[in-house]
Amino acid sequence: MIKEINKTISIKKKNRIFSKGIPRNFSELKELLKEEKGMGVVEVILIVVVLVGLVFVFKDKMNTIVSGMFTSITDGINNVVS
């Protein structure tokens, strides 16, 4: 029974599944840090957070610029139509 448990533990270590999700020593920690699964999701979330933050910071300035663009477009259309 104990041999089967040890065999299961060694298989899990090879598959990078650590005991209770926490590395027990420095080499397991290094292996865990090298693991790149899920990094794409984290990067996308960080980019979205930065973009949302920029929108909130520059909201008033962007509103002024966009309003100016639409006013300019409307004036141009009115000049062509008249």
pLDDT tens digits, residue range 45-75?
899 999 999 989 999 998 999 999 999 999 9
Considering the domain architecture, whether residues 53 and 72 belong to the same structural domain is answered as: yes
**Number of domains present in the structure of the chain:** 2
Between 74 and 35, the more confident residue is 74
Q: What domain range is 61 assigned to?
A: 39-81
Considering the domain architecture, whether residues 29 and 61 belong to the same structural domain is answered as: no
Considering the domain architecture, whether residues 22 and 52 belong to the same structural domain is answered as: no
> Distance between CA atoms of 45 and 33, rounded to whole angstroms?
19
The residue length of the chain stands at 82
Considering the domain architecture, whether residues 27 and 44 belong to the same structural domain is answered as: no
Q: What is the mean pLDDT of residues 22-36?
A: 71
Instruction: Determine contact, residues 24/18, Cβ cutoff 8 Å.
Output: yes
What pLDDT does 82 receive? 76
Considering the domain architecture, whether residues 44 and 66 belong to the same structural domain is answered as: yes
pLDDT at 34 over 80: no
Considering the domain architecture, whether residues 51 and 27 belong to the same structural domain is answered as: no
pLDDT at 22 over 70: no
Considering the domain architecture, whether residues 10 and 24 belong to the same structural domain is answered as: yes
What pLDDT does 42 receive? 76
